Amino acid sequence: MSGVVVLGGAGGIGSAVVRALLAEGRQVAVVDVAPPERVDVPWIRGDASDPATIDAAFDALGGVTGLVHCLLSEHRAPFAEQTADALRRVLDIGAVSALEPLQQLVARAEGRPCAAVLVSSIHAGLAWGGQAPYAMAKAALEALGRAAAVELGPRGLRCNVVRPGFVMVPRNAHRWQNTDTRDALTGLQPLGELAQPDDIARVVAFLLSDQARAVSGETVTVDGAMTAALPEPPAT
């Protein structure tokens, strides 16, 4: 089967995506700033916003027709204390870094069908105190994905976005490992349980597959219906 480049493949969701793709028999190359965690895939350690790093990832596999963007950055601070420099850095890592890989994917596919999945967040459509740069980057990533689907679709690209809700990854372990916080978060989920990284990875793998051959330009929310629920006012 054809190869997939996974940007941010060492993260909680990224590593689950790598496992899911390997289980399907796909070839995978990982780009991450973290030291290599696996010996069964080409692991390019470097900045995914560097074109040379992206070149190395695509060169490591023959016939790449898939791309997954799992990169993120945060600068948590009250809105009044945010700076333009911090905002630009978060945007560069969380959104701008997807441009070069998308261009490379289409160029190297040379007209063959190819697919990309950009991993966003429910923060792209909602606001949470102290997270303005992160929310802005994820919203920009989604906009970039839609533009790619429309403009590059005639050249064979399907591009979709997965928008996870709260996922039990190491980055937020301080929340789900605390019993009270975990219970509160679970209470926000109509399905009554928190998502695991593998839950997101399975959706990503589906969108990359031929089973989703007619799906493009979509944002798929995976949050257990949390953002679909309208809070009920207190009974009078």
- Distance CA(80)–CA(210), nearest Å, equals 46
Both tokens of 65, joined, read 């027709």
Active site residue 134: yes
* Residue whose structure tokens are 């919203």: 139
Contact present, 18 and 40 (Cβ < 8 Å) = no
Collapsing DSSP states into helix, strand and coil, what is residue 13?
Answer: helix
The three-state (H, E, C) secondary structure of 197-227, written as one string: HHHHHHHHHHHHCHHHCCCCCCEEEECCCHH
Question: Which of 203, 160, 195 lies closest to 175 in space, CA to CA?
Answer: 195
CB count in 10 Å sphere of residue 118: 28
Of 43, 58, 134, 166, the active-site residue reads: 134
Contact present, 31 and 55 (Cβ < 8 Å) = no
- Distance CA(226)–CA(212), nearest Å, equals 25
Q: Is 175 exposed, middle or buried (0-12, 13-18, 19+ CB in 10 A)?
A: middle
Catalytic residues: 134
